[in-house]
Each structure stands twice: as C-alpha cells, then as structure tokens.
Amino acid sequence: MPELPEVEVVRRGLVNWVRGRTIDAVEVLDPRSIRRHALGAADFIGNLEGAVVSDVVRRGKFLWMPLADSTAAAAEDPGTAPAPKAALMAHLGMSGQLLMQDPSVPDEKHLKVRFRLSHREGMPGQLRFVDQRIFGGLFVTSLVPTDDGGPGGLAESPLPLIAEEAAHIARDPLDPAFSFDLFYQRLRKRRTGLKRALLDQGLVSGIGNIYADEALWRARLHYARPTDTLRRSEARRVLDSARDVMLDALDAGGTSFDSLYVNVNGASGYFDRSLNAYGRTGEPCKRCAAAGIHSIIRREQFMNRSSHTCPVCQPRPRNGRW
Ligand SMILES: [Zn+2]
C-alpha cells in the first residue's frame, strides 16, 4: 500500500494539472474500478461530466477532488462560487496510478477510467486511472462539514468540508490544522501501547507500519510503551519524528512533482537509503554505531506484522502494553 508521503506526492503532482478544469467526458473501460460507486457507471459518469475539479485534497491516505458546478465558474472566481457538494474519491490500492496524458499517447495496458479535461494551453488533455491489480478504485461521494470546522485536509484552497468516507479519521501529522493538544489528550486516555496508538486512524491518521517504526526509532521510544505513562514531551517527540520522516520522504520524492507521470511509487527511492529501523533486522543500529556501541536491530511480531527496534536506544518498558 502507498504510505502517506506517496499519496501526497500524487496530490501535489496532480493539483497543478487538474485544478479548475472541467471534466468534459468520462469513459469507464473496466467497471471493476468503480465498484465502490454503488449506483453504477451511468450514475458515476453523470455526476462527473460537466463538473469542475476545484482542488485535490488529502487527509491521511485518503485523496479526493471536490467537484464544483461548471456554471458557477468556480475556477475563475472561487470566492463567489457555491461550495462543492460532491467529490471524486480515488483509492490507489496497491498499484493504482493517476496519469496525465496527451490524447495521442496509446492507452496503457491496465487503463481503467479515462477523463477528458477542458483545454488548457500546454497541458495534457486526459487524466487516466491505471490499475494493474484492481485493488484501487474511484467513486463519487458527498462532502460533509468537518467536525472541528477546520479544513478537510491538505489542499490548495482549504474548505471546511471532507469526503464522507474520510470523516471518521483524525488529522495526519502533515495537516496544518493538526492539534497536538487534542492528540495528547486522547492518547493519554487510550491505555494501550504506543505503536498501536500511532496506527489508530481515529487518533492520528496516515502513519503506517514503516513510519511508526521509523518515528519510534527517531524518538528513542519502544513500541510497547503504555500511552497513559507518556509525558507530553515524549508524545511531542514521537509525533515530530513521524512528521520529519514523512517530510524527508517527500523531499526524496519531490523531483517527480512536475512529472506528467504521477506514480504512487514516486517516493519509493527514499526507502532504499534512508530507513533506520524498518527492514534492517540483524543490521547495526546507526545511532548506536555512531556512539561506538554495538547493537543489532531486532524484529518482533506485532499485530500480525512486525516491529523493528534497537534494544539499546529503545529499551523495552517493564510494564509494556501491546
Ligand atoms: Zn540504537
């Protein structure tokens, strides 16, 4: 599954190409890719044709494009346009890609849905959803008010609206409206282990297994640390670490932002060289090695997955919780 930075790479890559453009036509080449749209292909197409893509928004790993009424000329003057009521939701799944292509480019082998966009000088005319393994998909959903009145997520022109499917998840560490105080309050009440809390999308969204292990390593905290014993400074440290790891991954993927080929794996090069804990089982801990201490990264089973820790700089708490 793509992690949050990869989805953010897609959002940034896409927004400059699609924002303010009208969807002139939609072609569903494989109905399996819109199976989450319960009312079927005709309804899917009917909702989209003639709509203006007003933005590309992300919260956690959820990505959506709010749809404005084209008659409102939302693109030219967003200030006077009525708020969008619906959005095109994109689940990238394992292999989903959103590609900007010129109509002259032959169809990709796994092309599933094609959007013809209104003409824009120097920009490709089509947005294509390509998905080899069909775990991803597209559907139209409602936009609902956010529960805290803040922006729905990271966006170019933030609105206090969120795609219904994403409304239940907490803000992610890259969201400017993320509230550390609220996170810390909820964290202290959880009475669980720290890593389980970091993976809980209702507490903080967008942190997957890799980023949890990396954030814990950077913060020098063990995954089983009981959350109700965490000091404010420790909670701040692990959250800042999660944000820093994500920002580093974004920097590494930044070169692909201007590419026409917006790939969910855009940031994957980061993982080849920058991981400190995840996937380094049996290798020396870099921080300990720098201090002249010999310590080996250890892998343990955790929630049907694995956790990677350094036994020296992330010691196990006596009263650990899983
Ligand atoms: Zn270490």
Q: Where are the domains of the chain?
A: 4-166, 180-309
**Cα(322) to centroid(ligand 1), Å:** 21
Owner of token pair 């089973």 = 301
Q: In the structure, what pLDDT confidence band is assigned to residue 81 with cuts at 50, 70 and 90?
A: low
**pLDDT surpasses 90 at 283:** yes
Q: How confident is the model over 57-77, as a mean pLDDT?
A: 81
pLDDT at 305: 85
In this structure, the strands spanning 23-28 and 51-53 are unpaired
**pLDDT surpasses 80 at 266:** no
Determine the Cα–Cα distance for residues 67 and 57; give it in Å rounded to an integer. 11
Opening angle at CA 251, ends 250 and 253, nearest 5? 65
Nearest to 246 by CA among 202, 219, 214: 214
| Residues in the 5 Å CB sphere of ion ligand 1 | 285, 287-288, 295, 310, 312-313
Question: 247 φ, ψ to 5°?
Answer: -65, -40
Q: 210, 4 in Cβ contact below 8 A?
A: no
Determine the Cα–Cα distance for residues 310 and 322; give it in Å rounded to an integer. 17
Tokens describing residue 193: 């282990």
pLDDT at 222: 97
- The CB density around residue 303, as the number of other CB atoms within 10 Å, is 13
pLDDT at 46: 97
**Cα(194) to centroid(ligand 1), Å:** 18
pLDDT at 322: 67
Nearest to 86 by CA among 35, 26, 144: 144
Architecture label for domain 180-309? Orthogonal Bundle (1.10)
Looking at residue 66, its amino acid is P
Q: How confident is the model over 137-143, as a mean pLDDT?
A: 97
Q: Dihedral of CA 302/307/309/311: which sign?
A: positive
**pLDDT surpasses 70 at 268:** no
**pLDDT surpasses 90 at 77:** no
pLDDT at 6: 83
Determine the Cα–Cα distance for residues 272 and 263; give it in Å rounded to an integer. 17
Annotated binding site: 110, 133, 190
Question: Is the model more confident about 269 or about 271?
Answer: 271
Annotated binding site for DNA: 110, 133, 190
pLDDT at 226: 96
| Residues labelled as active-site residues | 2-3, 61, 305
Q: How confident is the model over 127-154, as a mean pLDDT?
A: 94
The burial class, CB within 10 Å (0-12 / 13-18 / 19+), for 226 is: middle
At 10-42, the pLDDT tens digits run 898 899 999 999 999 999 999 999 999 999 999
Architecture label for domain 4-166? Alpha-Beta Barrel (3.20)
Mean pLDDT comparison of 56-65, 128-137, 295-304, highest-scoring range: 56-65
Nearest to 297 by CA among 223, 199, 189: 223
At 226-260, the pLDDT tens digits run 999 999 999 999 999 999 999 988 877 643 434 44
At 89-101, the pLDDT tens digits run 999 888 888 999 9
**56-60, 95-99, 221-225: segment of lowest average pLDDT:** 95-99
Domains 4-166 and 180-309 share a fold: no
**Cα(280) to centroid(ligand 1), Å:** 12
Average predicted confidence (pLDDT) for the chain: 89
**pLDDT surpasses 80 at 190:** yes
**Cα(286) to centroid(ligand 1), Å:** 7
Q: Dihedral of CA 305/309/311/316: which sign?
A: negative
**Cα(207) to centroid(ligand 1), Å:** 22
For 12-39, letters b (16+ CB in 10 Å) and e give bbbbebbbbbbbeebebeeeebbeebee
Cα separations in angstroms, 189 against 85, 184, 194, 219, 227: 35, 9, 12, 21, 8
Tokens describing residue 185: 């309050």
